[in-house]
Amino acid sequence: MVHADAEAEAKEVFEDARQGTAAGYRKGQWVPVPMPVSNPTVGTGVQAVLMYLHPKNDRQLDGPNTTSGLVGMYTNTGSWFAGAFHDGYLAGDTYRISGFAGYGEFDLDYYGTGDNPVFENRSIGYDFQVLVLAPTLLKRIPRTENWFAGVSYLYLDTRSRFRTSEIIPGIPDAELQMRTAGLGVIAQYDSRDDNYYPTGGQLFEAKWTNYGAPWGGDNAYNKFRTYLNHYQPIGSRTILALRSRFDYSTGDTPFFDLPSLDMRGFSMSRYSDQTTISVHAEGRYKFLPRWGLIGFAEAGRFANDVEGLASGRTIVSTGCGIRWQVTKAKKLNLGIDVAFSNDDSAVYVQIGESF
């Protein structure tokens, strides 16, 4: 009897939340989110995001959520960043316009590339300054329900200073200034039921980008990226999220733009090379309408070429986390994850899901 009463109460709470969602979607909402940041790439500190969750009219209730915002970050390594972003859906989701712009200065570690990087045991610290501009435009392909095609542009104005004097005293620090710019073409399939917290559907994307002088960059190279996300409901409160991703680059790719394993549990630059592949599985469980738990396992390989992936070393990470829905009406979560990899561990504080 106690179990039945508890189950009935839980169903009532979830039903109230669903009824309030439609009304909440019709109103725009400013959401300030100050929160700590802690990860092995930039260190520990604080970040703040001011988001505007755009309103929807009745015809847009089943469509994606439009979001704009400002973001700032500062950590104990002296790293900082400030920028603005927008993720918008126009004309009944016929057009998708997104973009990001910002400037930051970071204290990072360089390990080298490949399975046996030169600085694997003792990384070289380097200062990295970057100005970034990244707009994207997609249009729904006529007479299709979920297919989109479009273009993207990436511009990075960077300055790197490698602190080689910390490794070999008396050796001057090495500096590198570079502009990176590329134009990409994108094909996308999106059948998700929500772009904040999908409970069903798929998201597929394939993007090829050409970098070089025609677009304002110094280095000539190409990058190809594709991924597939699948979201499978299991009962009324649990979602199984699956992801596979493949990245490939050719030509004179700068060290900071090489493909790297898109996984948790280590620094973003720890495992990078010309080619990477990874698979991800994450279980998401809502034990209350605005509270949830997640558990995940990820595995990936990296190599100088596609053939090398077959014999490459497998990197594995596992972990868990907690989620809190920022607003009652929209399923946008604030999360904390703890991840453990082959030889490292990390804590992540984030807005939204990892994929």
pLDDT band at 184 (very low <50, low <70, confident <90, very high): very high
What pLDDT is attached to residue 121? Answer: 64
Mean predicted confidence (pLDDT) in 146-163 = 96
HSE-up (13 A, CA, CB side) for residue 85: 13
- Residues across the chain: 355
Using 50, 70 and 90 to split pLDDT, how confident is the model at 18?
A: very low
Each residue's pLDDT tens digit, 222-235: 999 999 999 999 99
In the numeric block, which tokens belong to residue 21?
A: 């969602």
Confidence at residue 125, expressed as pLDDT on a 0 to 100 scale: 85
pLDDT exceeds cutoff 60 at 20? no
Going 300 to 303 to 307 to 311, the CA torsion angle's sign is negative
Is residue 60 predicted with pLDDT exceeding 80? no
Binned at pLDDT 50, 70 and 90, residue 9 comes out as very low
- Above 60 in pLDDT, residue 24? no
Q: Is pLDDT larger for residue 331 or for residue 172?
A: 331
- Is residue 202 pLDDT above 80, yes or no? yes
Q: Are 208 and 192 in contact (CB under 8 A)?
A: no
DSSP assignment letter at 6: H
The CA distance from 248 to 303, in Å, is: 10
Kindly tell me if the per-residue pLDDT of 1 is higher than 70.
Answer: no
**312 confidence band (pLDDT: 50, 70, 90):** confident
Of 46-50, 120-124, 291-295, 324-328, the poorest mean pLDDT is in: 120-124
CATH numbers and ranges of domains, the chain: 2-351 (2.40.160.50)
Residue 53, burial from CB neighbour count under 10 angstroms (0-12, 13-18, 19+): buried
Q: What does pLDDT average to over the chain?
A: 88
pLDDT tier, 330 (very low <50, low <70, confident <90, very high otherwise): confident
Average pLDDT for residues 166-192, to the nearest whole number? 90
Decide if pLDDT at 163 tops 60.
Answer: yes
pLDDT on residue 270:
83
Of the candidates 354, 187, 148, 134, the residue with the CA atom closest to the CA atom of residue 264: 354
C-alpha 325/C-alpha 353 separation (Å) is 11
